Structure 1
Amino acid sequence: MLIPLALAQFICSFAGSNMNVMINDISRDLGTTVQGVQIAITVFLLVMAAFMIPGGKLTDRWGRKRCFLLGLAIYGVGALVSAFSPGLGILILGNSILEGVGTALLIPPVYILTTMLFSDFTSRARAFGVITGMGGIGAAAGPLIGGIITTGISWRAAFIFQAVIIVIIVLLSRRIADPVLPDPTRPFDVVGTILSAAGLACLVMGILQADNNLTLMAILLVVGVLVLVWFFLHVRAKERAGEEPLLSTALFRNRTSNLALVTQNVQWLLLMGVAFVVSAYLQVVRGYNAIQTGVIFTAATAGILVSSLAAERLAKRHPQRSLIMAGFVVTLGGIGVLLVMVRFSSNVWAFAPGLLLIGLGLGTMLTPSVNVVQSAFPEEQQGEISGLSRSVSNLGSSLGTAIAGTILVVGLTTPGHAYSAAMIVLAGIGLIGLIATLCLPGRTSQAPSE
């Protein structure tokens, strides 16, 4: 039962990064620009983040397996629409909207089912190691697989590949049983869903306006903050009235979970930010094709694979906090190596050591961060916390592409300085994640059963 769940996480992470190596091909074919492709990638990640919390809540109402299969169906349709898109608008509809919504429906059940099916901390760590490892591999291998398909066939074939994997996951999911019956009478907070999605969208789209219109950027950022404040007030009002909101404020009273959520956000921000910056720099500035760019990312893929496979053994020997801390230190070291090696060497393999370290670091800490968050709450709150956890991670992914990508795109007239600036900003954000890790308790325990 773990295979289809892990494959689902793989393909969703793959979708978030494989377009990075198609920048030139899509731009030429659809008559758009690097920024147009960046917007498509960022909106996909943003839609996932915006609707992941509602997706988690719907699992209680519709059932975890039903949401999983519905999400797969919507995702598959989106992949086919993307494959045959005649322009950027249809590509955004298929890839960014439909695939994003499909992912928001299918990913929360992956983590809820894993938490429910694996009850003890060690076996859960192993299961999460497989799933988050496949997610990390999907994100890191996306450029290589996408590059091979794009160069060998077409960028459109990469979306056909996604649709085929979706069909395989559906077939493998037939034996999955929902451990808890759905509750169709469970209320759903529509207003909260709209407010949370609108607030997050305004924030990320505001960042994307940094190179076009600073006034519009400021307006969107302010509106985003105000809408999120409105969302918080709405949630508080529903709780005081004895009604069930989209997201319970009780989830934020767990200090351990809050800090681990920060580390999750930063981890995915670093992964997707580095992936976009390096991919865009190689293609637009150095003129590498899709497969050449993808091959360079095998170093990151190898790092994530090695550390993910060791997740169970590491969880037995070391506290979760120590693993997350070590992951950040190694990742920050990798970013430093990327800055130094690329600055003083024009050889394409100068990227490999830094990417390898980043892959090792991220692979080491992805699993313990998820395990800490999910294990901090009992089963009846798994729908909420799973949605929140995935939303925070995908928000980090969209912010990584938006922030680092925008810095790079704005400074393409001086590509060397723009590349360095983007990497330095990512390193600064990584330090925030490391500080949050230092504040985690030395040891974490599984949530109580009731």
Structure 2
Amino acid sequence: MGDTPATLLRRVVNPARYSGSPRTVLVVMCVGYFLVLLDVTIVNVALPAIGSGLHTDVRGLQWVVDGYALALASLMLTSGTAGDRYGHRRIVLAGLTVFGIGSLACGLASTVPFLVAARVAQGVGAALLLPGTLAIIGRAFPDEAERARAIGVWAGIGSLALPAGPLLGGALTDGLGWRAIFLLNVPIVLAALVWSTAVVEESKESRARPLDLTGMLLGGLLLLATTYAFIQGGRSGATAPEVLAAASVAVAALVAFGAAELRRGDDAMLPPALLRRPAFDAANATAGIMNLCTLGTLFVLMLYLQSVQHRTPLMAGLAVLPLFAPLAIIAPFGGRITSRIGARLPAAAGVFLAAVGLALLTRAAPDSPYLVLLPAFLLWGIGLGLLTPAVVAAAIAAVPGERSGLASAVNNTARQTGGAIGIAVAGAIAGGPGDQDRFLRGFHAVALGSAGLYTAAAVLALALLPGSLLPWRR
């Protein structure tokens, strides 16, 4: 039987007396992951409406998306360490709170700078939240095979946000306006806060590393300068003074970041010793390429569907459902496959299928019927469904168990860094949809370049990720 409201309230007030079963903990952590992914796709489908409502161009829309991604990528590693040091449960609850406040601010924004600032607040909350969810799941499932299956469920339930995002975003934008896509988060956050407080036990490391604030600041400066250089370069040209200045800052920040991390050694935000593990490097490089190509192409794709093919937000959301639905359906099975044969084959197969799907997008034209786009969406989505749990499981398996929080943070940082740069690069290449011919040429170039990067990632996965190509020869 279920808990009564009075029982649940007692557990919220005195949570130390209660913890949920591993499956219950898995579900509530998936809610946090769901929120983070929902905000990616739900915002993309609303971008043309945001542009019209706040009178901004493609560059402004890039910052609306990247403000979230940059904060998430910059703070992910630090929040993983903070969870190890101060407790993953405490950090997850703080992340939910900040994410909810940021979502409310987004819904009330009246200017692009205010919206971007609120998106940064959302990203801060997501950075606190995301690595802790996976670390808590890792603690709840100590057996490696069970953990891999749990990660598959985590990826699958969280990935329900991907098909839900375009549908909810389209319906809300058409019916209530773009502000509703952010306000929707607020009641979900409140429910997740109560539930997480009730069922999740505190967990932290007895010998956690100190926080690397220098590394966090230099890493954030590196990402910000790199993203600015790409976004501004798409508008002013690669040789514009502000672009060259931003690129110089990025190079200086990279050198300083590397030197600072080497000095700190094992206490660094990104310990150099971890980077000497080939499987760990390959898993994170593949994860970064995955989001660089996926989020970059998705940014341009939603502008194509609405501004070139003149679909409504809801119709655009329905159009990309075959892209995201396979990810939600296949990811749990991908986790089971990974637990049996290792990450190598699922990851390589996933990136290869996604590469074929992206290459097919080069056939897109202003008047292309939907049946021309459908095979591209399906192959792309099936590939992501196989790839996502494989790269996450490979990253965690490549490090000692006490570093699970750090491993999940590094993997998610690689993904969010790739996504932020991908959006900046794709927007710079495609430009605005006002010049339709130039935009379509840029869209095709983004899709073909992404297919090429995915093919390279398939080779990397086959070479370095664990697991035999043939199950019976493990």
TM-score normalised per structure 2: 0.88
What CA deviation, in whole Å up to 9, does each residue of 1:35-61 have, x standing for no partner? 211211012111111111111111122
Instruction: Give the whole-Å Cα distance in 2 for the aligned partners of 1:56 and 1:286.
Output: 42
Superposed displacement of residue 234, structure 1: 1.1
Asked whether the equivalents of residues 327 and 363 of structure 1 are also in contact (C-alpha less than 8 Å), the reply is yes
In the alignment, which of 358, 371, 374 is matched to residue 335 of structure 1? 358
Asked whether the equivalents of residues 308 and 366 of structure 2 are also in contact (C-alpha less than 8 Å), the reply is no
Per the alignment, residue 441 of structure 2 pairs with: 417
Q: Does 1:142 align with 2:165?
A: yes
What CA deviation, in whole Å up to 9, does each residue of 1:208-265 have, x standing for no partner? 11222322223322321221211111122233xxx83222111111111101111111
Instruction: Give the whole-Å Cα distance in 1 for the aligned partners of 2:451 and 2:185.
Output: 32
Instruction: Give the whole-Å Cα distance in 1 for the aligned partners of 2:61 and 2:313.
Output: 14
Per the alignment, residue 255 of structure 2 pairs with: 229
| Structure 1 residues 287 and 131: alpha-carbon distance in aligned structure 2, compared to 1, 3 A threshold | same
Instruction: Give the whole-Å Cα distance in 2 for the aligned partners of 1:311 and 1:51.
Output: 29
Q: Does 1:362 align with 2:384?
A: yes
| Structure 1 residues 316 and 24: alpha-carbon distance in aligned structure 2, compared to 1, 3 A threshold | closer
Q: Does 1:209 align with 2:232?
A: yes
Amino acid at match of 1:272: L
Per the alignment, residue 458 of structure 2 pairs with: 434
Percentage of pairs with the same residue:
26
Q: Does 1:81 align with 2:105?
A: yes
Instruction: Give the whole-Å Cα distance in 2 for the aligned partners of 1:30 and 1:154.
Output: 12
Per the alignment, residue 252 of structure 1 pairs with: 275
In the alignment, which of 46, 65, 69 is matched to residue 89 of structure 2? 65
Superposed displacement of residue 108, structure 1: 1.0
Per the alignment, residue 28 of structure 1 pairs with: 52
Superposed displacement of residue 272, structure 1: 1.1
In the alignment, which of 309, 319, 327 is matched to residue 304 of structure 1? 327
Instruction: Give the whole-Å Cα distance in 1 for the aligned partners of 2:429 and 2:157.
Output: 29
In the alignment, which of 292, 300, 313 is matched to residue 277 of structure 1? 300
Give the stretch that moved more between structures: 98-107 or 426-435.
426-435
Q: How does 1:36-55 map to 2 (within 5 A)?
A: 36-55=60-79
Per the alignment, residue 394 of structure 1 pairs with: 416
CA RMSD of aligned residues (A): 2.0
Amino acid at match of 1:264: A
Asked whether the equivalents of residues 21 and 146 of structure 1 are also in contact (C-alpha less than 8 Å), the reply is yes
Instruction: Give the whole-Å Cα distance in 1 for the aligned partners of 2:131 and 2:423.
Output: 22
Per the alignment, residue 38 of structure 2 pairs with: 14
Per the alignment, residue 325 of structure 1 pairs with: 348
Instruction: Give the whole-Å Cα distance in 2 for the aligned partners of 1:381 and 1:225.
Output: 29
Instruction: Give the whole-Å Cα distance in 1 for the aligned partners of 2:411 and 2:334.
Output: 19
Q: Does 1:176 align with 2:199?
A: yes
Q: Does 1:220 align with 2:220?
A: no
Instruction: Give the whole-Å Cα distance in 2 for the aligned partners of 1:167 and 1:302.
Output: 27
Amino acid at match of 2:47: I
Instruction: Give the whole-Å Cα distance in 1 for the aligned partners of 2:163 and 2:77.
Output: 25
Asked whether the equivalents of residues 125 and 311 of structure 1 are also in contact (C-alpha less than 8 Å), the reply is no
Asked whether the equivalents of residues 156 and 329 of structure 2 are also in contact (C-alpha less than 8 Å), the reply is no
Amino acid at match of 1:146: G
| Structure 1 residues 67 and 433: alpha-carbon distance in aligned structure 2, compared to 1, 3 A threshold | same
Instruction: Give the whole-Å Cα distance in 2 for the aligned partners of 1:349 and 1:171.
Output: 45
What CA deviation, in whole Å up to 9, does each residue of 1:296-336 have, x standing for no partner? 11101221122113224423554310000110111111112
Asked whether the equivalents of residues 251 and 385 of structure 1 are also in contact (C-alpha less than 8 Å), the reply is no
Instruction: Give the whole-Å Cα distance in 2 for the aligned partners of 1:20 and 1:181.
Output: 36
TM-score normalised per structure 1: 0.92
Instruction: Give the whole-Å Cα distance in 2 for the aligned partners of 1:112 and 1:316.
Output: 18
| Structure 1 residues 221 and 412: alpha-carbon distance in aligned structure 2, compared to 1, 3 A threshold | farther
Superposed displacement of residue 412, structure 1: 5.1
Instruction: Give the whole-Å Cα distance in 1 for the aligned partners of 2:205 and 2:143.
Output: 24
| Structure 1 residues 274 and 83: alpha-carbon distance in aligned structure 2, compared to 1, 3 A threshold | same
Superposed displacement of residue 382, structure 1: 2.1
In the alignment, which of 106, 115, 127 is matched to residue 91 of structure 1? 115
Asked whether the equivalents of residues 108 and 386 of structure 1 are also in contact (C-alpha less than 8 Å), the reply is yes
What CA deviation, in whole Å up to 9, does each residue of 1:371-404 have, x standing for no partner? 0101111232223222211111111111221112
SS of equivalent residue, structure 1 residue 433:
helix
Amino acid at match of 1:16: V
Q: Does 1:238 align with 2:260?
A: no
SS of equivalent residue, structure 1 residue 439:
helix
Instruction: Give the whole-Å Cα distance in 2 for the aligned partners of 1:406 and 1:433.
Output: 23
Amino acid at match of 2:390: P
Asked whether the equivalents of residues 226 and 421 of structure 2 are also in contact (C-alpha less than 8 Å), the reply is no
SS of equivalent residue, structure 1 residue 249:
coil
SS of equivalent residue, structure 2 residue 273:
helix
Asked whether the equivalents of residues 226 and 247 of structure 2 are also in contact (C-alpha less than 8 Å), the reply is yes
Asked whether the equivalents of residues 115 and 124 of structure 1 are also in contact (C-alpha less than 8 Å), the reply is yes
Asked whether the equivalents of residues 303 and 360 of structure 1 are also in contact (C-alpha less than 8 Å), the reply is yes
| Structure 1 residues 441 and 79: alpha-carbon distance in aligned structure 2, compared to 1, 3 A threshold | closer
What CA deviation, in whole Å up to 9, does each residue of 1:23-77 have, x standing for no partner? 2211221122232112110121111111111111111222100000000000000
In the alignment, which of 399, 402, 406 is matched to residue 380 of structure 1? 402
Superposed displacement of residue 345, structure 1: 5.8
Per the alignment, residue 447 of structure 1 pairs with: none
Give the stretch that moved more between structures: 281-290 or 378-387.
378-387
Amino acid at match of 1:372: A
Count of paired positions: 439
Per the alignment, residue 285 of structure 2 pairs with: 262
Q: Which runs of 5+ in 2 are unaligned?
A: 1-24, 469-474
Per the alignment, residue 346 of structure 1 pairs with: 368
